[in-house]
Amino acid sequence: MYIRTKKLKKEDYAYLVNSKWNKTKRTSKQQFNGYLGRIYKPEKQFNIKLNSIKRIDSNESYIANTQLQEILKDVIIIDLLNHNLRQNKYIYEGQDYYVDLVKLKVYNKKFNPCVIKMNNGFLCDYTLKNLFNTLPSSTNEVEFGKKLARAFIEAGIEINQELFVLIFDKIYKKEAI
């Protein structure tokens, strides 16, 4: 499944779509799986790092001593703050939209679901839940690494390579035990 955008009345909207291959016609057909909402596009204005928010000495000690859910939330928070969203406890608000990291919801002022386009990805209910529920289903390290990286990219979360490797090790080694 992937996210497809359409422009209607000068506004962009996102849909969850699945492609199905037609063998006889040798073409693919897109199947609609769900409406994700209107797309908002905040500009990246800052370059905040994890070290400046959490006041940590090293990423290794932070990853080792923190729960996985909190690590993922902190990585998302950094990206939201870089895109100039204001913080109000666990809810981050932009001009016409909100991101709730407790309920893993993204919605507009009318409480309808919406999508935030950041860093070539889309932050929405679907991608947030996908990121938080990514677990190694098989013992193949490479396959799980690609799955986790894709979850970050689809959600539009920018993460440096060192931090990604530490998060991967924490998830993969926890599940392997």
pLDDT at 177 over 50: no
Q: Distance between CA 144 and CA 48 in Å, rounded?
A: 28
- Are 22 and 28 in contact by the 8 Å Cβ rule? The answer is yes
Establish if 24 belongs to a structural domain: no
Establish if 29 belongs to a structural domain: no
The per-residue pLDDT for range 119-154, each reduced to its tens digit, is 999 999 999 999 998 887 766 888 888 899 999 999
Establish if 105 belongs to a structural domain: yes
The per-residue pLDDT for range 54-98, each reduced to its tens digit, is 777 788 888 888 888 999 999 999 999 999 899 888 899 988 999
Q: Which residues 6+ apart lie within 8 Å of 68 measured at CB?
A: 167, 170, 171, 174
Establish if 4 belongs to a structural domain: no
The per-residue pLDDT for range 11-53, each reduced to its tens digit, is 999 999 998 888 888 888 888 889 999 999 998 888 888 877 7
Establish if 162 belongs to a structural domain: yes
Residue in 45, 65, 58 with CA at minimum distance from that of residue 163: 58
Number of domains in the chain: 1
Establish if 28 belongs to a structural domain: no
Domain that holds residue 141: 45-176
Dump the DSSP string for 13-50: EEEEEEEEEETTTTEEEEEEEEEEEEEE-PPP-----H
106: helix, strand or coil: strand
Query: The whole model's pTM is what?
Result: 0.86
